[in-house]
Amino acid sequence: MATELMRVDHLDKYYGDWQALHNINFSIHEGEVIALVGPSGSGKSTLIRTLNGLEPYQKGTITFEGKKVTPDKVSWQKLRQEIGMVFQSYDLFPNLTVMGNILLGPTKVQKRDEGEVKAEAQKLLERFELADQADAYPRQLSGGQKQRIAIIRALVMHPKLMLFDEVTASLDPEMVRGVLNIMQELAKKDHMTMIIVTHELTFAAKVADQVLFLEDGRLRETTSAKQFFTNPQTDRAKEFLASMDY
């Protein structure tokens, strides 16, 4: 049995008086891939941002590698080095080259040796067919290329957990495949532990071990991907899959 990497117990989150997440419970083990799915506004981004300390929560606990997370700024800053996150918007620094963007975290935050990080970055760029882009600026790249760089920028920090929030949602259709392929490779070859928010259900069915189905801020189903996509237990999940033409 793989080691439990993160667990969430009885987590509630409010925006002001309004409760966005209700009693969220789940855990993810090393090497596992979770697909977090659900209708728009169900709280997927809120949950994934909470798991990275970008959103405060009011009740419940998050445990990482067996240690309860102290929900303060300093603890999260430290922990965030272990948890990579890629968003829908690429958030690359426009004034830095691709290599400059990739080197920033490892050299400035982790204080690692620049030469060593550069060699590792170069390997990742080659692996994801971006070797020629090291000296380019973000404005010179396509959306798909920028998103692949954003993934590399997270990977080079050696995260134990990767969080992805709709990373293909703003891409042109022909760019989507290349980005999904990287995530699939990270799952199947690297056995990276990942939580993926996605509307690409065919992809989710292929890479995910576990599905969390969120609706109205509540986890309506927490089940194996196989079960969820072939025989969902709740009417809400059935309706959701039908609405997605799955």
Instruction: Give the footprint of ligand ATP on this chain (CB under 6 A).
Output: 15, 20, 38, 40-46
The first and second tokens of residue 23, run together, are: 């009693």
Q: Is the Cβ–Cβ distance between 207 and 196 less than 8 Å?
A: yes
The site partner of 230 among ligand ATP, Mg ion, none (C-beta below 5 to 8 Å per kind) is none
- Encode 72-93: b = buried (16+ Cβ within 10 Å), e = exposed: eeeebeebbeebbbbbbebebe
Query: Can you tell me which of 5, 33, 36, 45 binds Mg ion, judged by CB under 5 A?
Result: 45
The site partner of 105 among Mg ion, ligand ATP, none (C-beta below 5 to 8 Å per kind) is none
Q: What is the β-pairing status of strands 59-64 and 33-37?
A: unpaired
Neighbouring C-beta atoms of residue 243, cutoff 10 Å:
9
Contact segment (CB under 5 A) with Mg ion among 27-35, 40-48, 114-122, 202-210 equals 40-48
Restricting to residues 142-201, which ones interact with Mg ion according to CB under 5 A? none
Q: Is the Cβ–Cβ distance between 177 and 143 less than 8 Å?
A: no
Give the residue with the Cβ less far from ligand ATP, 42 or 168.
Answer: 42
The site partner of 20 among Mg ion, ligand ATP, none (C-beta below 5 to 8 Å per kind) is ligand ATP
Contact segment (CB under 5 A) with Mg ion among 43-51, 96-104, 135-143, 147-155 equals 43-51
Give the residue with the Cβ less far from ligand ATP, 45 or 145.
Answer: 45
The minimum distance between CB 1 and Mg ion, in angstroms, equals 32
Give the residue with the Cβ less far from Mg ion, 45 or 145.
Answer: 45
Q: What is the β-pairing status of strands 4-15 and 18-29?
A: antiparallel
Angle between helices 143-155 and 114-127 (to 10 degrees): 140
Q: What is the largest CA-CA distance in the chain?
A: 55
Give the residue with the Cβ less far from ligand ATP, 36 or 155.
Answer: 36
Binding site for Mg ion (CB under 5 A): 44-45
